[in-house]
Structures are given as structure tokens and as C-alpha cells.
Structure 1
Amino acid sequence: MIKNIVTITLNPTVDKSTTVENLKPEKKLRCTPPKYEPGGGGINVSRGLARLGIKSVALFTCGGRTGELLEQLLKEENVTTSTIPTAAETRENFIVVDTSHNEQYRFGMPGEDITAAEVKDIAKIIHGLSPTPEIVVISGSLPPGIEPAFIGMLVRELKEKGAKVIADTSGEALTEVLKEGVYLLKPNLGELSTLTGMKDLDNESADEAAKQLIDEGKAEIVVVSLGPQGAYLVSKDESIHVPAPSVKKLSTVGAGDSMVAGMVAILAQGGSHKDMARMGVACGSAATMSTGTGLFTKENAERLYKWLSR
């Protein structure tokens, strides 16, 4: 049983969500009372792990009144936190669901600049983690002030200390991460196509593309997210497709992070690759059954996992 798990979120957020009937421009809209929830890739993974009974430490940058609210919200969800203070205010995102059409509008706000001194503090804190985490999840976007190469450096140091690094990021940060190689990577078809140079990927060719990344030493395990079609888990010796169960979709916010949480939970318990893929798809699908940014409920995730394991 792996007990020392750390998630890293360098551009966290507080997600504010509400609903309104018949969204129209230049009209005063009567919204329901807002709901505030923690957000950001690694933070959501820690939230998901907590729901599955797996302990982790959510390490994230934190500043201002929004940062204080973020800490309080995570405390209410029984997530252990370790914060890196910043002068910049922690950002907010805004999600609105138009109930007349069940359409979701997601407004992502940019983070404020992280100073050069704060970047050094982040590196020092992560370098000084003791004992070295057995699993480290680096997930989410980068705020202004942090260069993509910084993430590559973190991956290299953590690997040298023996940590299994799981990465779920995008763009230049993902490119830098793959220069170092990770234990597990979770791209979607579009990202996989960009990383491998293989165009027009589908379910069949995704297997080949994932194996290319593994052969190049960029990852030991590649889990290709296929959205409503489930996921492919590919390792050096295995190729496992898990179809997504049919559920009533209310929101896609946090589905990818929930998928990572499900896989890490099984990995922490010494489970098989097949069970990792099943729990990942189960948690990702269960997250779409929740409104706003609510992630998944343990009951829905476990029910879907049992269904996928039949």
C-alpha cells in the first residue's frame, strides 16, 4: 500500500458556479446562489482520492482572500494541504449552466504573475519534500511567470529521488515533461496526435501512437482518454480498452482529474493495470453525473467500477 502521495498544482483556482434559465445577452439574468468549490488539476486529484479513502497532500500556490477560501474549502473536504504563499491573488473560474438547454459555459480566468523569487521558493519546497513521495501527480496549467522548462526540471529531480511521476498537463509544459519521461501520461486523442506526429488518430491507431511514446522512453504507461468512448491503457506489454458506461451527463468539469484520481487510487493499493483503467473510467464517468464542479461521488464511482468489472 502506497501511503505517500503528493499532488502539485501551480495555478489553482476557486470555481464559482451557478445556473440560469435562458441565457441571453443584454438581459438582466436571475441566477441561483453561487457554489464555491476548489479547482485546479492536482487539487481535484487530491479531492478525488479523499473520496476514495486514499490520503494525499495537495501542494499548491496560494495567495490573497481567494487563496484563504481555497484552503478552507479543502479543509471542509478533509484534504491535507501544503501551501506555497504568493503575493498574487489565487484566481477564480466561473461556470454557468443554462437550464433551459442544459448548456454549460465555462469562463477560465488567467492566473497572476508568479515572481522569480517565488519560483525559487516553489523549487526549494518541492526539492525538500521529505520523505520523498512515492507518487507525485503534476496536473493543471501554468501561471504567468513559470516557464514550461521548470516543470521538466521538477520531473527530473523527483524521478532521481525515486518518485513515480504522473503528468496531466498540456502544451509546452507537456513537451518539457516528456523530455524527462514519466511513469504515467494521460493525453486525449488530439494531444496524442500532436506528441507523436500521427494525424487523424482513432481508437485503433491510438494504440500504436501510445506505444511509440513508450518505446521512446517518454512514459511507462499511457492512458488515452477517449471521452464518451472510454479509455485505452497502454504499457510495454499490454493494451487495454475500457468502454465508458452510459450515464446522464450533467457536467464535464473535473472529469479528467477524476479519472487520474481513480487510477492513482488503484495504483496506491497495488492493483492491476486493468483495474486502474476501470476505476479511471468509472470516476471520470461518475464526475459527469454531478453538476457544476462537484467531481464524482464515491457511490457512483464504485457502482460504475463494479459494472465495468463484470
Structure 2
Amino acid sequence: MITTVTLNASIDKIYTIASPMEVGAVQRVATVIDNAGGKGLNCARAVATCGERVCATGFVGGHNGAYLCERFTKDGIAHDFVRTARETRCCLNIIEPSKRSTEFLEPGRPVTAEDVAAIEAKVAELAGNSDVVTFNGSVPTGCGNDIYRTLVATVRAAGKPALLDTSGKLLVGSLDARPTMIKPNTDEICAILGRKPESLEEVVAAAREVREAHGVAQVVVSLGGDGAIMSCADGEFRGVAPKIEVVNTVGSGDTMVGAFAVAIAHGMAPADQLRYAMACASANCLTASTGHFEMASAEELMAGTRVERI
């Protein structure tokens, strides 16, 4: 089983509009898609799509939290959340006819010290029955910048892989807990090293430096349409997915983390993990609904996804 931890869950609404967005004017929405959202919940859906058992945990609260759980139950995904007194946030993604995407992300409502203690106990409980645990996204006020370091250390002490996908102080402050995998972009690498890699060669060197300096087994750097770089004990690899007609890119990074969790749980070699995860992430870009993809599409894309040792 894979456990996903989402401390800043949301109700994600996708608005598709029929004409380009005009600032200051009334916008008529053509279609609406509601999802149980937050990076970790997108990750959980990816794990389920890959055919693996998954349990989603984190914070939920209020009417939105109840609706979120209802949506996840309808999707057939197990969940075991900590209930808070404050309302779960909402996030909007507006997609124009050109496929340009504009997001409005609410902050998470504050949580209490008791809520934090409850999620620490919940993660410790679930880690014992998990093959892999993922930690995804931002955190609400009240968690503090050390929350992921504490939770990752709990999972690692249980002898289980911990995958961390976050940014800023949350990422930098968690590295001494030695997460199994991190997935920074070049801005996040800059936050770790104090410099931003520009060329492909600099990205490769930076990924290796982060891995060796902090004891992270796998550092995966997303390059958007240019693929991804992975540094691991086996060496450095570049993955490049086939060109596709993109519908919605939101959630593709979360899908990649979920697919990596499945690949690690199945004992795949690192290069095969990268190929599998990139194919699933690309398949996510083919659907309008955030964090959803068809496994058949991922399998087709996998055949054309190149992974090369650098």
C-alpha cells in the first residue's frame, strides 16, 4: 500500500471558458469540473490509476472537507484524514480556448497544535503498513516549517521510502531527514544550493550535488517539455517523453510522484522508474480533469519515452 499525505487539501474547480479571458470583464464559464484536490490527492489518484492500493491522509474540515471525502469515496480511493475545525480551501483553474491556464490558489485555513499532533500520530500509524509514503505540496498556517522534516523522519525511522514534493523552506528544512526522493525544479534547486542551474549540464551537476550533499537517494528535476533529469546511485539519467497535444498540464507533476511511488514499491530499476513516471505524467496532460489519466494512454506513451544515461 502507498500512503499519500496532503496537508493543504482543496476542492479544485476547473473552469473552461469559451473566449479569451478579459481582465475586469464578466467571464462566462462553459464547463465546470470539480475534483478532490491538493497535490497529494492528485498523487493518490495516480497511484490508484496505476492499480496500486492507496490510502490518502492529511487535513480536511468543514463542508468542503466533507465534500472532498465524498468525492474520494466515489472514486473508490481509501482515505483516513484528520478532521479540523476550519473549512478546507478551494482552488480555481481557468482554461481558455488557447489552453492557457490561470490558477487562483486559496491559502489553507490555519490548523492547531492539536491538529499537528494528530497528523504526526496518523502518519506514524500508517507508515507501518505502507510500502511508500509521499508528502506533497504546501502546508497551512500552524504547521511550521519543520513539519515535513518531522514526518519524513518518522517514515524513514519505520524503514520505509519517503517521497517529498514541496518547495522553499519546507523543502530545504527537510533535507536532513533524508527523504528517499525529492522532485525540485530549477528554482527549488536554487533555494537549496544558492544558485540556479541554467544549462542542461548545470542541472545534471546540481542534481548530483544535492543528492551527494544531503543523502537523498534520488533527485528528479523536472524540465517541463524538455523532460526530466534524475540523479541516483546508478548515475544520472535524462528522460524525454513523446510530443503530445496538451489539454491540461495541471497535476502532471503530482502524477509523476505517484507513479514513482508505484515504481519504487514494485522494485523497478531507477531508469525504468523514470520512464514509467514520465509516461504517466504525460498521459495526465491529455485529459481536462486535473490529476486524471488513462493507463492505456500511459502505456502507449511509455513505448516512446526515452531514458538515456548522461
TM range (shorter): over 0.9
Question: How far, CA to CA, are the matches of 1:213 and 1:170 in structure 2?
Answer: 14
Question: How far, CA to CA, are the matches of 2:191 and 2:27 in structure 1?
Answer: 41
Q: Runs of 5+ in structure 1 lacking a partner?
A: none
Paired residue type of 1:50? A
Aligned with residue 173 of structure 2, among 173, 176, 180: 176
Match runs of 1:1-310 below 5 Å? 4-20=1-17, 21-99=19-97, 101-129=98-126, 131-308=128-305
Question: How far, CA to CA, are the matches of 2:197 and 2:126 in structure 1?
Answer: 42
- Which deviates more from structure 2 when the two are superposed, residues 137-146 or residues 74-83? 74-83
Q: Tell me, what secondary structure is at the counterpart of 2:41?
A: helix
Question: How far, CA to CA, are the matches of 2:118 and 2:193 in structure 1?
Answer: 34
CA contact (8 A) 2:168 2:191 kept: no
CA contact (8 A) 1:17 1:96 kept: yes
- Give the C-alpha shift of residue 168 in structure 1: 0.3
- Which deviates more from structure 2 when the two are superposed, residues 23-32 or residues 215-224? 23-32
- Give the C-alpha shift of residue 197 in structure 1: 2.6
Q: Tell me, what secondary structure is at the counterpart of 2:214?
A: coil
Paired residue type of 1:57? C
C-alpha spacing 1:128/1:200, structure 2 compared with 1 (3 Å): closer
Question: How far, CA to CA, are the matches of 1:17 and 1:105 in structure 2?
Answer: 10
Q: Percent identity?
A: 29
Q: Tell me, what secondary structure is at the counterpart of 2:87?
A: coil
Q: Tell me, what secondary structure is at the counterpart of 2:164?
A: strand
Paired residue type of 1:206? V
Q: Runs of 5+ in structure 2 lacking a partner?
A: none
Cα deviations by residue, 1:161-193 (Å, 9 ceiling, x for unpaired): 111111000111101211211111111122123
- Which deviates more from structure 2 when the two are superposed, residues 17-26 or residues 216-225? 17-26
Q: Tell me, what secondary structure is at the counterpart of 1:242?
A: strand
Q: Tell me, what secondary structure is at the counterpart of 2:56?
A: strand
- How many pairs were matched up? 306
C-alpha spacing 1:171/1:134, structure 2 compared with 1 (3 Å): same
- Give the C-alpha shift of residue 71 in structure 1: 0.8
Question: How far, CA to CA, are the matches of 1:156 and 1:22 in structure 2?
Answer: 47
- Give the C-alpha shift of residue 51 in structure 1: 0.6
Question: How far, CA to CA, are the matches of 2:155 and 2:266 in structure 1?
Answer: 21
CA contact (8 A) 1:181 1:217 kept: yes
Paired residue type of 1:36? D
CA contact (8 A) 2:64 2:87 kept: yes
Question: How far, CA to CA, are the matches of 2:99 and 2:10 in structure 1?
Answer: 24
CA contact (8 A) 1:95 1:292 kept: no
Question: How far, CA to CA, are the matches of 1:24 and 1:70 in structure 2?
Answer: 31
CA contact (8 A) 2:241 2:306 kept: no
C-alpha spacing 1:281/1:31, structure 2 compared with 1 (3 Å): same
Structure 2 length normalisation: TM-score? 0.93
CA contact (8 A) 1:193 1:209 kept: no
Paired residue type of 1:142? V
- Give the C-alpha shift of residue 231 in structure 1: 0.8
Q: Tell me, what secondary structure is at the counterpart of 1:182?
A: coil
C-alpha spacing 1:56/1:27, structure 2 compared with 1 (3 Å): same
Paired residue type of 1:165? A
C-alpha spacing 1:241/1:25, structure 2 compared with 1 (3 Å): closer
Q: Tell me, what secondary structure is at the counterpart of 1:300?
A: helix
Structure 1 length normalisation: TM-score? 0.93
Q: Tell me, what secondary structure is at the counterpart of 2:140?
A: coil
Cα deviations by residue, 1:102-131 (Å, 9 ceiling, x for unpaired): 321111011111012211211222223363
Paired residue type of 1:296? F
C-alpha spacing 1:200/1:68, structure 2 compared with 1 (3 Å): same
